[in-house]
Amino acid sequence: MTNVNVVAKEVRPIGGVNNDGLKLGWVNSGGKAAQNDTWTVTNATTVEWANITTDANGVADPVTISTNVLTLTSATATAGSGLVLFK
């Protein structure tokens, strides 16, 4: 299992009094060598939601989240990108 440090670039501010400090961010081309590799979102303390797809064909890569660490669970070994909702 390999870990890659990634940064979520804020895409758009989330307004309103109930946003609880959440931001919508884009992770661009994080590396992945094998099933269950992880990405640590270094500028987040918590990731609440993630939608990651493979760069090669746009297929969704299932993700499990533990604080700011995303585990990419598909067997595909290719870079991926996607949206994250983070603090």
CA distances from 10 to 34, 53, 63, 73 (A): 27, 18, 20, 25
Q: Is the pLDDT of residue 13 over 80?
A: no
Contact 27, 62 (CB under 8 A): no
Strands in 2-79 per DSSP E: 3-6, 9-12, 23-30, 37-41, 47-54, 60-61, 63-66, 69-72
The fraction of the chain above a pLDDT of 90, given in percent, is 66
Average pLDDT, the chain: 91
Write down the pLDDT at residue 21.
83
User: What is the total count of domains within the chain?
Assistant: 1
Cα gap 11→78, rounded to integer Å? 23
What does the pLDDT average to over 49-56? 92
What does the pLDDT average to over 25-30? 91
Domain that holds residue 37: 3-86
